Structure 1
Amino acid sequence: MLPKQTDYKVGMYLRLSRDDERQGESLSIENQRRILTNYVQENGWSIYDTYIDDGISGTTFERPGVQRLLDDAKSGKINLILCKDMSRFGRNYIQVGQYVDYLFPMYNIRFIALTDNIDTANSDSASMDMMPIMNVFNEWHCANTSKKLRTVFHANAKAGKYMATFCTYGYYKADDDKRTPLIDPEAAAVVQRIFKMRASGMGHKSIADALNQEHITPPLDYKYDKLGRTYPLYSHHLWNAQTIRRILDNQMYLGKLVQMKETTVSYKNHKVIRNDESEWVIVENNHEPIISQELWDKVRERDRSVSRGRITTERITSPLSGLCYCDSCGAKMKMQKTPESKSPYSYRCGLHVRYGKSFCTSHNIRGTILEQLILEDIRRQIDFVTNDDKARAKYLARKQGNIALVMAEDNKRKREIEKRLDDLGKLMQKIYEDRVLGNMPDKACAELLEQYQQEKEDLQAELNELRKRFDGYKREEEDVDEFIRRLKSY
């Protein structure tokens, strides 16, 4: 029991979360204030202060209002905490219990949750006995609400509803139900240019430097300019390599809507974590793309290169810079300027340049010769796909080599496995029927079922592996088709 007090200095706590707003006026801040104020006046107490958290979940106690309330309680400025119900104070049953059962009695603070009939001055009441259960129920409500919201978010993402607060740079939201992204011509032109610069061999920082030199507005400033507001945080208002990298990795520019990339640890822990890529929700052809698949693939190829490519003092990157390897040792070739020769630059073995002749011989090739050889080969390939009806089959044969024989064997094995799996299903069903009819002993039934089940699992694993290989064969065909399409386009 708390020591008897008559002079109460009341701290009224009011809280409204976004979920509570759906329930209407009954839980509004003003309604809570009116109910609690009337109760204080009826009892002849005085209100020291009102503490409000508007739009904040009760699962966390990192709320400005509740923290100020607790500080005033510990310093003795208030000795009675009044709220409309237990869920207003909090929905984390462990923390609520710690405050009500331990902390408040330590500081001789009375706690009242009005509509729940919770009053720590009357510890023998039935409501006080029920308080732990009420706290658990309040937390269960949060857990259940969180689960429902996650389900709704996932369903909206699969339906192609764009849920981001602000649209990705290069787009703006339409007024339809799905808030479909529409192309913003001014920003989209910058996005296209960034992809082309990266595909040409420029590094992320070099691209950012080029945009800054031309005083092109970076994405955040551009967004706030469109809103007619000033960017609220401190910023240099410049492009940087990280911004360029985010744009180049964003599949939205291909017309794909990629959502559910991040989530929180739980309804209690709001730390944002990144989902595994397999959990992302991707809607293909959701909106008009800004860049082509071909340009996207070129950027990915550039990213896979071990070198970004060298930029000369004239701010020019050779088309082959970062893509050439020494035929003798396999090391990356180093581009060097050769002003007195017929070619403005040449390529030398990087291993020889760094470590000398002990590791690789001194040899080089002029850039103009290498580019001419490649150009001739491209023209020869174009002529081949244009004039030879069997070009596709020949490319596939060259790419797959002796794989045709392997594919035939895999296909035969696949048919054998599928037939055996079908037979096993029938055998297992027959065993069950015999067991039910009493035609087979329990022990024999169990042994046969275990044997067949193990065989079924082994065959299924082998079948899955074969299907993966067939997917690989199919991708090779798609690669050849894309290669031919690109040749014809040029």
Structure 2
Amino acid sequence: MARKSRKNLPQPEQATVSVQFPELDEEKIPTAIYGRLSVEDDEDNESMETQIALVQDFINRSSELNYVDTYFDNGFTGTNFKRPAFTRLMNDVRQKKIKCIVVKDLSRFGRNYLEAGYYIETVFPFLGVRLIAVTDHFDSTRKEDMESLALPIRNMVNTMYAKDISKKVWTSLQRKKEAGYAVGSDAPFGYIRNPVTKRNEIDPETAFYVQLIFQWVLMGVAIFEIARRLTLLKVPTPREWHRKIVEGKEVVTYKKWGETSVRHMLANQTYVGDTINNKSTQKFFAGQDKRDLSKEQWYVAKNTHPAIIARDDFEKVQDILAKNQKVFKTVRAETEQIRTEYQNDLAGMVFCADCGRPMDFDRLPHGAEENKKICYYICRARQADDKCIGHQITEKLLKALVMDQLHLFIVRLSDKRKVLEELRKIEDMQNPVYRAKSEIMSLTDKVGQMAKKREQLYADYVAGVVDSEDYQLIREDYSKQYDGLRAALQRAEAKKVEVEQQIREYLNMTSNLEEHLDDFGFDAQLVKSLVQRIEVSADKRIRIVFGFQDVFADLGKESAGK
């Protein structure tokens, strides 16, 4: 008996099934009906209504099952379990909404022997779910059913059946492809598919735009400009047109055309009247995704339907596209070479001092003479902001100015380091470590004095010199002072450790930086380690914001002034 497609059958929410379900009884097992139809199923024996009615009748006659919901996958193969209704069913199972699943037979549950066995023998027992197959007389709660050889044999038969059906479907499709029938589900933009002859027929409304697109290319219009024009003309995109013709939905908003859609249309040989098949392949049995095939494996049947584009015009367009692609690849290769040779060493660091905008890095122009191959940092604010006139500076000049400022900065750091090394040898308040130690000694002495005061207060209280009320007030005041001094002492000790650490880091860093004083070439690593931001004004003046925190700048100034 002929196999029929299930793609146009309504889903369970849309189907009208004349069955009556009993009211929910909380003492019974919450039960779900699961059914499935695929493209291989026979319509007379495996209709959705037939499956649901048979299973529902079984549930109605059962004294321990209580119907909850129906889950039906329409048009999905049984060789894999990535089905929307089955996924929804398993989510409800994990949420304890379903405790029993009833199917017409095990083939409706799945035709993959390994996966079906895994669910039946491992997943469902773990989740505490019961599975019943009505016509196979299978119940997972019966030990004899689970241990019987009939179950794996039946699952294996289902697997082999699916494999056999997949082979038959594949063979049938191959014959149709070789005969030049359009076996795809949809006609390309510009055509409509005749449901009887399975041939493409011209759609006057959209074929006009297909001709217009090809004509624009022949006139030399760029593809991005074609996409822009189609968007301005509010031409429905191929996806929107599909929704209107196939899904019966109105086009409410007109989407923006993309260059990719235009390119696909320009490369589609269907527009010259040819039917192209076997562009991809897929194994139904294994549940594999589609795999694209090379052009040598395509089936091309010429003049199977009316042409929208003349064959010679189509070939001219292909030559134009091939030439443009060649030019694009050449330019891209040159651009990559230029990017590699002329890298932006100050990326993300250069800003306009007048408007604050990042300055763009422009590499040398293509084909420029060797002496004109110069890179610039350019402020393009003139195009968007009247407050800034826009300006540029050559990369070479900017790098020289930056390195000059870095050398001056390193010299200043070196001078401060020498001052700091001398200060470390002197026990003077200008020495930050000595100052920290002195503060610690002072606070330690104050803490000791306060401790003695507290002891003396207690002695006076015991001797009766201080009454109870005064003792409480004074003791509370002394305690607050003592706690404050202890906290200050801890902060001072932490500050001393921090100062000593900063001094070590400062001396180590400035000592390493002195190695660069004799090197006047551009050092990208040095710049990135010290510089946070470079600001360039229209008169070529620069301001450098250093990321290095000179914690002893004030100390250096004071020492240098004395």
Alignment TM-score, normalising by the size of structure 1: 0.56
Partner of 2:166: 146
Q: Report the Cα distance in structure 2 between the residues aligned to 1:200 and 1:173, rounded to whole angstroms.
A: 31
- SS of aligned partner of 2:183: coil
> For structure 1, which segment, 183-192 or 285-294, has the greater mean C-alpha deviation from structure 2 after superposition?
183-192
Match of 2:137 among 117, 126, 129: 117
Match of 2:293 among 267, 275, 281: 275
Partner of 2:101: 81
| Gap change, CA 1:309 and 1:231, over 3 Å in 2 | farther
Shift of 1:223: 4.7
Q: Report the Cα distance in structure 1 between the residues aligned to 2:234 and 2:90, rounded to whole angstroms.
A: 50
One-letter code aligned to 1:166: D
- SS of aligned partner of 1:305: helix
Contact 1:254–1:290 (8 Å) recurs in 2: yes
Match of 1:354 among 367, 374, 377: 367
- Answer yes or no: is 1:194 the counterpart of 2:213: yes
Alignment TM-score, normalising by the size of structure 2: 0.50
| Gap change, CA 1:251 and 1:136, over 3 Å in 2 | same
Shift of 1:181: 2.1
Unaligned runs of 5+ in 2: 1-26, 331-363, 374-562
Map 1:401-440 onto structure 2 (within 5 A): none
Contact 1:220–1:231 (8 Å) recurs in 2: no
Q: Report the Cα distance in structure 1 between the residues aligned to 2:32 and 2:229, rounded to whole angstroms.
A: 57
- SS of aligned partner of 1:51: strand
Deviations 1:196-252 (A, max 9, x none): 2213332211111223334444334345555794458x9752322111101110001
- SS of aligned partner of 1:168: coil
Shift of 1:113: 1.6
Q: Report the Cα distance in structure 2 between the residues aligned to 1:227 and 1:67, rounded to whole angstroms.
A: 27
Shift of 1:148: 0.9
Q: Report the Cα distance in structure 1 between the residues aligned to 2:319 and 2:33, rounded to whole angstroms.
A: 59
Shift of 1:58: 1.9
| Gap change, CA 1:21 and 1:33, over 3 Å in 2 | same
Contact 1:85–1:116 (8 Å) recurs in 2: yes
Partner of 1:245: 263
Map 1:37-436 onto structure 2 (within 5 A): 37-55=56-74, 56-125=76-145, 128-174=148-194, 177-225=196-244, 229-230=248-249, 237-264=255-282, 266-306=284-324, 354-356=367-369
| Gap change, CA 1:186 and 1:10, over 3 Å in 2 | closer
One-letter code aligned to 1:61: F
Shift of 1:101: 0.9
Q: Report the Cα distance in structure 2 between the residues aligned to 1:170 and 1:59, rounded to whole angstroms.
A: 36
| Gap change, CA 1:308 and 1:190, over 3 Å in 2 | farther
| Gap change, CA 1:31 and 1:191, over 3 Å in 2 | closer
Contact 1:262–1:274 (8 Å) recurs in 2: yes
| Gap change, CA 1:71 and 1:173, over 3 Å in 2 | closer
- SS of aligned partner of 2:184: coil
- SS of aligned partner of 2:135: helix
- SS of aligned partner of 2:69: strand
Contact 1:51–1:68 (8 Å) recurs in 2: no
| Gap change, CA 1:357 and 1:236, over 3 Å in 2 | same
Shift of 1:67: 2.7
| Gap change, CA 1:45 and 1:210, over 3 Å in 2 | same
Q: Report the Cα distance in structure 2 between the residues aligned to 1:20 and 1:221, rounded to whole angstroms.
A: 30
| Gap change, CA 1:241 and 1:107, over 3 Å in 2 | closer
| Gap change, CA 1:18 and 1:215, over 3 Å in 2 | same
Q: Report the Cα distance in structure 2 between the residues aligned to 1:300 and 1:220, rounded to whole angstroms.
A: 24
Shift of 1:48: 3.9
- SS of aligned partner of 1:27: coil
Contact 1:260–1:275 (8 Å) recurs in 2: yes
Partner of 1:11: 31
> For structure 1, which segment, 164-173 or 152-161, has the greater mean C-alpha deviation from structure 2 after superposition?
164-173
Shift of 1:21: 4.8
Q: Report the Cα distance in structure 2 between the residues aligned to 1:95 and 1:149, rounded to whole angstroms.
A: 23
Unaligned runs of 5+ in 1: 1-6, 311-321, 323-350, 361-490
| Gap change, CA 1:359 and 1:255, over 3 Å in 2 | farther
Map 1:436-475 onto structure 2 (within 5 A): none
Partner of 1:487: none
Q: Report the Cα distance in structure 1 between the residues aligned to 2:188 and 2:118, rounded to whole angstroms.
A: 44
| Gap change, CA 1:211 and 1:109, over 3 Å in 2 | closer
> For structure 1, which segment, 144-153 or 105-114, has the greater mean C-alpha deviation from structure 2 after superposition?
105-114
Partner of 2:425: none
- SS of aligned partner of 1:258: strand
One-letter code aligned to 1:251: Q
Contact 1:254–1:293 (8 Å) recurs in 2: yes
Q: Report the Cα distance in structure 2 between the residues aligned to 1:186 and 1:37, rounded to whole angstroms.
A: 49
| Gap change, CA 1:223 and 1:62, over 3 Å in 2 | closer
**Aligned residue-pair number:** 313
Deviations 1:320-374 (A, max 9, x none): xx9xxxxxxxxxxxxxxxxxxxxxxxxxxxx9963316799xxxxxxxxxxxxxx
Deviations 1:451-480 (A, max 9, x none): xxxxxxxxxxxxxxxxxxxxxxxxxxxxxx
Q: Report the Cα distance in structure 1 between the residues aligned to 2:108 and 2:325, rounded to whole angstroms.
A: 58
Q: Report the Cα distance in structure 1 between the residues aligned to 2:326 and 2:39, rounded to whole angstroms.
A: 49
One-letter code aligned to 2:90: L
